[in-house]
Structure 1
Amino acid sequence: MKKIILGAISLTVALNAGEASAFSLISGNQITPTTNLQSIGSFTIDEIADGITADGLFPSFPGPFNGFASNASSGTITLELNGEFNLNSFILWNDINVFEEGIKDFRLDFFNDSNGLIASSPTFLAPITQVDPREYVFNNLILGVSKVDLVVLNSNQSSLGINRIEIREVAFTGSPTAKTPEPTSMFSAVVAGLGILLLKGKSRAN
């Protein structure tokens, strides 16, 4: 009987471990961005989580020129996640038209569903004049995240003298937070499993 109980518990742990290692892309309508920063024209904050990553020059001009722009060079953008996630990395598509602009130094602050601060990242350096995204893999898995503050510390100043926030798109990789079963529920499941095994044993004996 001890072997059966240990086997059931080992199976539960293995399933949870497998789920934690399966990271997927968290993007688009899974993220709701908001900010107090004033946007420029049609480059509103919702455009950093709409799935459009083109820079307007590639693959065809003039392209969508899609993203968020603000004349501010620093400030905070809040990224509300549609659920609770264990986060593995952050992905940034910087600069709307990819010309020496976009954010430069930034930090990420992670919050749980009670708005409690879980952790803060070190200061990251954003890519400059780069069409492709940059992925920032965290040193440790950040558990139980419902909200992330993207804190822009400063932005790049182009050769034209432009110094402002420009972001095309953001995303994360991670997995939904697995809800831990209540001890009574887990015990009941183990007992039920044992009951089935015992009944099968009796049936075979008969």
Structure 2
Amino acid sequence: LHYGTLMGSRACVQMAGAAWASGFLNAVLHTANTFSIPLCQGNAVEQFFCEIPQLLRLSCSDSYFRKAGVTVVSFCVACECFVFIVLSCVQIFRVVLRIPSEQGRHKVFSMCLPHLAVVSLFVITAMFAYLKPPSMSSPALELVVAVLYSVVPPTLNPLIYSMRNKEIKEALRKLIQCVVFYHS
């Protein structure tokens, strides 16, 4: 791919800088918010890692505005990143559709679509974790959702990207056949 040529090195540097800056700003806001919370219900969280919603439950003060602020900032950053990725892929697809070679188009699509699948999986599970109504809240469900968005996307990432490999596709096909025929 000629990504650097099509986008220009300046645009690539600007996009990387914007991603780093927004990630840093988001992290600073979350860290400042977390360290400013007065805890009065102990310091044990019911998760396998410290997550902001669990820390807010341990707070002495009313955490509604803090939680709303964290949710709004996180949602804005996530949406901005997702829209940016989609727009970037649309630009790539526009260029790809002008490629006369079917093999060339297939090569580019096989690189972009797995990336969109991994990003979509992470965004959807994270949105479910943070935007679900409080009536659906339970420690067991929150643990499952936390595992979904923190463990499943990174675990599936290599599998999704390796689906371009013919040997992996064949091995997966054989595995599915074994499972289907074993249960039949």
Superposition TM-score tier, normalisation by shorter sequence: under 0.3
| Structure whose residues are more often helix by fraction | 2
Determine which structure has the larger strand proportion and give its number: 1
TM-score (structure 2 length as normaliser) = 0.27
Greater radius of gyration (CA): 1
